[in-house]
Amino acid sequence: MKRLVRIMLIVLLLVIIGGAVAFWQIKGAGSSKLEQWIGSQIQLIADSYLNPKLSFTDLDYEYPGTCVSRPCD
Protein backbone atom coordinates (compact mmCIF):
# COMPACT_ATOMS: atom_id res chain seq x y z
CA MET A 1 0.00 0.00 0.00
CA LYS A 2 2.82 2.42 0.85
CA ARG A 3 4.46 1.65 -2.48
CA LEU A 4 1.27 2.48 -4.39
CA VAL A 5 0.92 5.80 -2.56
CA ARG A 6 4.56 6.63 -3.26
CA ILE A 7 4.15 5.84 -6.97
CA MET A 8 0.99 7.96 -7.15
CA LEU A 9 2.76 10.89 -5.51
CA ILE A 10 5.68 10.62 -7.93
CA VAL A 11 3.31 10.54 -10.92
CA LEU A 12 1.38 13.53 -9.55
CA LEU A 13 4.63 15.45 -9.05
CA LEU A 14 5.72 14.70 -12.63
CA VAL A 15 2.35 15.87 -13.98
CA ILE A 16 2.58 19.10 -11.99
CA ILE A 17 6.14 19.75 -13.19
CA GLY A 18 5.14 18.99 -16.80
CA GLY A 19 2.17 21.33 -16.57
CA ALA A 20 4.32 24.08 -15.09
CA VAL A 21 6.87 23.74 -17.90
CA ALA A 22 4.13 23.80 -20.55
CA PHE A 23 2.51 26.85 -18.93
CA TRP A 24 5.87 28.64 -18.80
CA GLN A 25 6.45 27.94 -22.50
CA ILE A 26 2.99 29.16 -23.52
CA LYS A 27 2.54 32.20 -21.25
CA GLY A 28 5.67 34.09 -22.29
CA ALA A 29 5.22 37.13 -24.51
CA GLY A 30 6.39 36.88 -28.07
CA SER A 31 6.11 33.99 -30.46
CA SER A 32 6.98 30.56 -29.21
CA LYS A 33 6.87 27.58 -31.56
CA LEU A 34 3.34 26.79 -30.40
CA GLU A 35 2.22 30.37 -31.02
CA GLN A 36 3.85 30.36 -34.46
CA TRP A 37 2.01 27.14 -35.33
CA ILE A 38 -1.32 28.49 -34.05
CA GLY A 39 -0.74 31.71 -36.00
CA SER A 40 -0.02 29.83 -39.21
CA GLN A 41 -3.19 27.75 -38.77
CA ILE A 42 -5.28 30.89 -38.18
CA GLN A 43 -3.79 32.48 -41.29
CA LEU A 44 -4.47 29.38 -43.40
CA ILE A 45 -8.12 29.27 -42.31
CA ALA A 46 -8.64 33.03 -42.67
CA ASP A 47 -6.91 33.11 -46.08
CA SER A 48 -9.43 30.62 -47.45
CA TYR A 49 -12.29 33.00 -46.51
CA LEU A 50 -10.82 36.52 -46.75
CA ASN A 51 -9.59 38.60 -49.62
CA PRO A 52 -7.15 40.42 -49.12
CA LYS A 53 -5.02 38.09 -47.06
CA LEU A 54 -4.78 38.23 -43.27
CA SER A 55 -1.34 38.93 -41.81
CA PHE A 56 0.14 39.77 -38.43
CA THR A 57 3.61 39.94 -36.95
CA ASP A 58 3.18 38.63 -33.43
CA LEU A 59 0.74 36.31 -31.70
CA ASP A 60 0.25 35.71 -27.98
CA TYR A 61 -1.73 32.59 -27.09
CA GLU A 62 -3.63 32.77 -23.81
CA TYR A 63 -5.05 29.54 -22.43
CA PRO A 64 -7.72 28.17 -23.00
CA GLY A 65 -8.41 29.66 -26.39
CA THR A 66 -7.64 33.35 -26.75
CA CYS A 67 -5.20 34.77 -29.29
CA VAL A 68 -4.01 38.34 -29.20
CA SER A 69 -2.18 39.61 -32.26
CA ARG A 70 -0.43 42.77 -33.34
CA PRO A 71 -1.17 43.81 -36.95
CA CYS A 72 1.55 44.36 -39.51
CA ASP A 73 2.49 47.96 -40.24
pLDDT tens-digit map of 17-40: 998 888 777 776 566 777 778 888
Query: What is the pLDDT at residue 13?
Result: 93
Residue 61 to residues 5, 7, 38, Cα–Cα distance (Å):
36, 34, 8
CA distance 39 to 57: 9
pLDDT tens-digit map of 53-66: 666 666 666 666 66
CA distance 43 to 50: 10
**Closest residue by Cα to residue 12 from 23, 4, 1:** 4
Residue 27 to residues 1, 32, 49, 54, Cα–Cα distance (Å):
39, 9, 29, 24
Taking the complete model, does pTM exceed 0.75, yes or no? no
